[in-house]
Structure 1
Amino acid sequence: MQTVDRWFEDYEIGETRQTVGRTITEADIVLHAGQTGDFFPHHMDAEWAATQPFGQRIAHGTLILSVAVGMTAGEINPQAMSYGYDRIRFIRPVFIGDTITVTAEISEAVDDPKLPDARGHVHERVTVQNQRGETVLALVHLYLVNKRSRA
């Protein structure tokens, strides 16, 4: 990873970045279940899942969220930090063997209400698609970003 100083003033509404694909494996699901304690049969029991509407095991929504956010983390920016996530929606299931890609678009940049001269909030609309081009997850990633005037 590379370190890049990117200040609030450097972000442009509409700028977009796209990741390469990542295939979700059974190992991903098993590891996530172990880390979270979520061993629900929807994720872990192939025989039971075969009797359900999707007909097979599905990846945890929180797994896809974590992987997608990680896929967009390509630079270390000392001027910004993650402030949280809004409007998270698990739109379609992700199955073992599905390949996801992520698109992140800057959708909003506003002054921080407490320290408007020192920092701002940058909102990034994140969309995750499977190999068929179907949206499987959507969210807004919020960043707290320093302004140059602070320096």
Structure 2
Amino acid sequence: MKKTIIAMLVFAFVAFGVFIVFGLNPPTPTVKAEGKEIAVGQGSYCWNRIIHTRCVDMIAPQDLITHYELKQVKVSPGAVINIDFLFNPKAGTLSVTQWNPDGESIVVPVNGDKITLPKEAGTYIYDLSATWSRGSSSYVFVVEVR
């Protein structure tokens, strides 16, 4: 009986810890291209926490790259980027916007959890956003196609 109570307490403690760690902020994606991990910066988000909802409005994607000191990763023209979340967003909510050096943006087609980079050389900033049952969030990263 004592072992059962201890096991239940340990389980409850671990479950609570996991909820706290993974429940306070939006999940951060792992972004990779050609086997290289690409650093990602947190953008604007609204997230339902344990007691309240927290909404944070961040600066423009181009400025976030500087703010987080994100380094551009060199990738091949037409490379495929994989976007992976520990907790998958709601179906159909992952969207990606590409910003070119001139400050112009285009919406990039998302195929599942993948996007294809341009064939033209240059530095491109990407702003991705997604929605979960607990809220929504955006993220930025930068690549150099060469």
Q: Which structure has the higher relative contact order (CA within 8 Å, separation 6+)?
A: 1
State the TM-score, normalizing by the size of structure 2. Answer: 0.29
Q: Give the number of the structure whose residues are more often helix, by fraction.
A: 1
State the TM-score, normalizing by the size of structure 1. Answer: 0.28
Q: Give the number of the structure whose residues are more often strand, by fraction.
A: 2
